[in-house]
Structure 1
Amino acid sequence: MNSVNYQGRNVIIPENPVSRFLLSDTRAAWIWLIIRVYVGYEWLVAGWHKVTADAWVGAKGGTALQGFVKGALTKAESGADVTGWYASFLQNVVLPNAKVFAYMVAYGEILVGLGLILGLLTGIAAFFGGLMNASYLFAGTLSTNPLLFVLATWLVLAWKVAGWYGLDRWALRYLGTPWHAKSSTSMKL
């Protein structure tokens, strides 16, 4: 339940049964397991291709990212798909540091994939996966990014149960949550 302060009173707004089931009930965890493993697999494969490619992190590290950024900048110049502020970010921040960003992208994709597949810090992994999807979308790349962004957003919302069939079942007990101190009795999963 959520509480809202209305004219000095604390008003409780009950959560609807569908969202309570999907986002807070461990009986729905199998749904999130399927989505989580699919999205994680997509990220792991994408990251693995980058890590094993010379143009990303090998001897020619960063050249693939430079090509991607230059393509996005061309789209921005023609007024298609890429907004000016993002083109400015790509040109002034990413392009001069392409090698560093190439490593961050490649290994970030692998970490997101592993986090989702293993169900470890699922909400955090899904958030960073969604952030990368949004970055690709801002750069004018569709592919599977819209679908993966939507699924990542759902996984972030369902973080409490999305990792139930995974390492979060134990990790969240050990780490605690921001609103509960770390202890064995503070969070009964």
Structure 2
Amino acid sequence: MFVKFLRENIYASFVLLLLRLYLGWEWMTAGWGKITEDFDAANFLKGAVGKASGDHPAVQTWWANFLEGFAIPNVGMFNFLVAWGEFLVGIALLLGIFTTFAALMGIIMNFAFLLSGTTSTNPQMVILTIFILVAGANAGKIGLDYYVLPYVKNLFFKKRNRTVNT
């Protein structure tokens, strides 16, 4: 019943708009700050690896191994991906374009930060993003998705119908 409300109700789309605007602003400003400053994730990543030891580690060993074996050696790529990922997720949520995909990418970043032993606003952002993901297309109905999703769906099904008919 609640899922149907989130997915289909016009009043829910207004509440989702507010959630989208809040999350979009948070992501966009965080990303812009990283883009315009000398953002370097190296110390954050090394700190996360350090939190994987002791009696009560905040970071699981498998995640620390990923950070140590892949993320830290490729920190330049992660500096770019985190800064621009945050910024673009924010813009997409603010505009309501490809909203579900943007929310998915945002929640993946939230979980990566949480797995790295940091809390900050990540738990609340995860909770709010779940509502957007469950709502699906209704979360972007008051936004550019209202225009873009039917166009994309039409392109996809035209191409698919041509493939089936040949």
Offset at residue 24 of structure 1 (A): 2.1
Structure-2 residue corresponding to 1:186? none
> Aligned partners of 2:158, 2:118: CA distance in 1, in Å?
41
Offset at residue 80 of structure 1 (A): 1.9
Offset at residue 25 of structure 1 (A): 2.1
Structure-1 residue corresponding to 2:62? 85
Structure-2 residue corresponding to 1:36? 20
Matched letter for residue 92 of structure 2: G
Matched letter for residue 134 of structure 2: L
Asked whether the 8 Å contact 1:76–1:87 carries over to 2, the reply is yes
- Segments ≥4 residues shifted beyond 3 Å: none
Structure-2 residue corresponding to 1:125? 102
Offset at residue 66 of structure 1 (A): 0.5
Structure-2 residue corresponding to 1:70? 46
Deviations 1:57-105 (A, max 9, x none): xxxxxxx201001110111122421000000000001000001111000
Structure-2 residue corresponding to 1:52? 36
Offset at residue 182 of structure 1 (A): 5.1
Q: What is the root-mean-square deviation in Å for CA atoms of aligned residues?
A: 1.7
Matched letter for residue 85 of structure 1: W
Deviations 1:27-83 (A, max 9, x none): 3210000000000000001001100112x2xxxxxxx20100111011112242100
Deviations 1:111-136 (A, max 9, x none): 10000000000000000000000000
**Structure 2: tracts of 5 or more residues without a match:** 160-166
Deviations 1:5-42 (A, max 9, x none): xxxxxxxxxxx2x3211222233210000000000000
Given the alignment, which residue of 105, 113, 116 partners 2:90? 113
* Structure with more of its chain in helix, by fraction: 2
Asked whether the 8 Å contact 2:35–2:83 carries over to 1, the reply is yes
Percent identity, please: 39
Structure-2 residue corresponding to 1:138? 115
Asked whether the 8 Å contact 1:41–1:113 carries over to 2, the reply is yes
Give 3-state SS (helix, strand or coil) of 1:77's partner. Answer: coil
TM-score by length of 1: 0.79
Asked whether the 8 Å contact 2:13–2:140 carries over to 1, the reply is yes
Confirm or deny that 1:94 pairs with 2:71: yes
TM-score by length of 2: 0.90
Structure-2 residue corresponding to 1:168? 145
> Aligned partners of 1:43, 1:167: CA distance in 2, in Å?
18
* Structure with more of its chain in strand, by fraction: 1
Q: Point out the more displaced range, 75-84 or 109-118.
A: 75-84
Matched length: 158
Structure-1 residue corresponding to 2:157? 181
Confirm or deny that 1:20 pairs with 2:4: yes
